[in-house]
Structure 1
Amino acid sequence: MHFGSAKKWLRGGLLALAALQTVASVWQYVFPRSFYDDFPTVRLDPPYNEHLISDVGGLGLALTAMLYFAAWVLDSKVVLSALIGYLIYAATHFTFHIRHFDHFSFLEAVGVGTGLGLEVALALVFLCVGWRVHRAESAATTRTEAVTRRDVSDQEPV
């Protein structure tokens, strides 16, 4: 994958993850009871706790801000840190749900497992792309520094 197109894919991926996270986080934070009552399968979880759901929504909004900022600046270190944070969140969320399908129908379990598994897969894909971009940027910086040092050492003293 070409460096420029990798960065475009990375920006698109970051924006997609941020958009998905925005919807859930705003819903959790602003309308926690509605999220608990209306989001598919959440009603199958333990009893409603407004404090817990709104706190999770607030944390999701923080993660959303990190993803949007990473997509905006496309600095590889910022991108990698945002994606690592998102991957940890997505993987732990996925792990919880696949271990708690007791009251789910088969279709609900497949839907939740697939949706949350897709978030983990996307985070891994974009993390790999981000890592490749980071390595390419680091290599380019190293080459530029080497050329600059060579050019400086080639100059004759005045």
Structure 2
Amino acid sequence: MLWILNAIGALVGVWALLLPHEFHASFPGLGFGAWVAADGPFNEHLLRDVGALYLALVGAGIVAALNRRADAGVAVGVAWLVFSVPHLAYHAAHLQGLPPLDAIGQPIALAATIVLAVPLVVPPRSRSNRTASIRTTQPEQETIR
């Protein structure tokens, strides 16, 4: 889950940070309309900040994925949810005037990061529940899924 979120965040983050004019004019591409441009005039500062935010999530996600600790994955999952839930809520409330494909695609695309983040915040099952026959003298740290 972390690596998928990292890939999404890296794509959006690099594009918005390094090419804000192109991001504003054509995001998300792939035959959809310009979702960002439809919401107002170009604002380079805002777009570069959004790109940096996505890359900050990616940075934390890479650290969590490489450490393979459940608590790190939970923290990154919470960060994605804190960002993604209000992001989806805003766009869901502002779908009027979008072409039908965009009005369907936008909420689905924005909900994807929520769907991917939720499993990260669910506490992992303890090892004793998974394999009661294995006993160790030292407790093991849970790893992320």
Gaps of at least 5 residues in structure 1 are 1-12, 147-158
Aligned length: 128
Q: Deviations over 1:59-80 (max 9, x none)?
A: 1111110011111001121111
Counterpart Cα distance in 2 of 1:126 and 1:89: 15
Show structure 1 runs of 4+ deviating over 3 A.
Answer: 143-146
Establish whether residue 59 from structure 1 lines up as the match of residue 49 from structure 2: no
Matching of residue 119 in structure 1 with residue 107 in structure 2: no
Structure 2 distance, partners of 1:79, 1:20, is 16
What letter matches 1:59 in structure 2? L
Secondary structure of the structure 2 residue equivalent to 1:103: coil
Q: Secondary structure at the match of 1:101?
A: coil
Residue 126 of structure 2 corresponds to residue 136 of structure 1: yes
Opposite residue 34 of structure 1, the aligned amino acid is: E
What is the distance in 2 between the residues matched to 1:85 and 1:100? Answer: 23
The 1:138/1:61 distance shift into structure 2, 3 A limit, reads farther
What is the percent sequence identity of the aligned residues? Answer: 29
Change (3 A) 1:66 1:15: same
Q: Which amino acid aligns with 1:97?
A: H
The structure-2 alpha-carbon separation of the partners of 1:138 and 1:29, relative to structure 1 and needing over 3 Å to count, comes to farther
Give 5+ residue unaligned stretches, structure 2.
Answer: 28-33, 130-135, 140-145
